[in-house]
Amino acid sequence: MKKLILLLLFSPLLFFTGCLDDEGYSLSDAWVDFGIVDKSGQGNLGFTVKTDHNEVLYPVASEYPLDVEDQSRVWINYTILGEKSINSSTAQYYIKVNSIRKILKKGILDITEQNKDSIGNDPILVVDHWLANNLLNFKLKYFGDNEVHYINLVKKPGLITAAGQPVELELRHNRNGDNDRFPFAAYVSFDLSALKTAGLDSVRYKVSATDYDGDMLSFTGVYKW
């Protein structure tokens, strides 16, 4: 039985959960998580969601029509209706979808002479980051007004080798000439599949980003496949 009470993941919306006992799940309880949509035909509503906590959600009810794309990155608020399968390695649940939102998902971009100016070099604040489902995920904060901002994770082109690690990645922000008037928060996920290299089963990486004080944030990680 699912006993984990997830923390708030998407401000400013507030969701509350109650403790669960061995008698079942309450329709007044709700969970929130990030995940990947799988439209292989499973589930009453035609898709499942694999969450960042390696659980599989089977939507069987929703109060409104759902339009989701296969392999899209989503944030989902849901109520558990029952357990489909629980064992030591996997947990599967039948759920009612309370709300679902698409999260920006992109690949890694190679820096070239043609795009080095358009990817921008404006500051960005990294509030949180985590690795799940082949995706490097960020919660970001930036300042703007009414223009579209662009976020990319970039690297220099070239062959990845065991000796050339960690792979240097840089989080780049183009505010598109916008004014720093209001604070904004955003989630973005980057697919690390482009780092897969023949003969290796993992790659070490280092990510850097520049904040509004001109300071460089950096962190390292290991991507295993």
Domain boundaries, the chain: 1-102, 111-224
| pLDDT score at 104 | 97
- Nearest CA-CA partner of 98 in 81, 65, 68, 76: 76
- So what's the pLDDT on residue 1? 56
Query: What is residue 88's predicted lDDT score, i.e. its pLDDT?
Result: 81
What homologous superfamily does CATH list for 111-224? NigD-like, C-terminal beta sandwich domain (2.60.40.2370)
Q: Which fold has domain 1-102?
A: OB fold (Dihydrolipoamide Acetyltransferase, E2P) (2.40.50)
134-146 in b/e form (b: 16+ CB < 10 A) is: bbbbbbbebbbee
End-to-end Cα distance, the chain: 29
1-102 and 111-224 in the same fold: no
Cβ atoms 100, 68 nearer than 8 A: yes
- For residues 170 and 120, give the distance between their C-alpha atoms in angstroms, rounded to a whole number: 11
pLDDT value of position 116: 86
Q: From the CB of residue 157, how many other CB atoms can be counted at a distance below 10 Å?
A: 9
pTM: 0.86
**Tens of pLDDT along the chain (225 residues)?**
564 444 334 433 334 444 444 447 888 899 999 999 999 867 789 999 999 999 999 999 998 889 999 999 999 999 999 999 988 888 999 999 999 999 999 999 999 989 988 999 999 999 999 999 899 999 999 999 999 999 999 999 999 999 999 999 999 999 999 999 999 999 999 999 999 999 999 999 999 999 999 999 999 999 999
Rounded to whole angstroms, the Cα distance separating 126 from 170 reads: 12
Q: Give the pLDDT score at 8.
A: 39
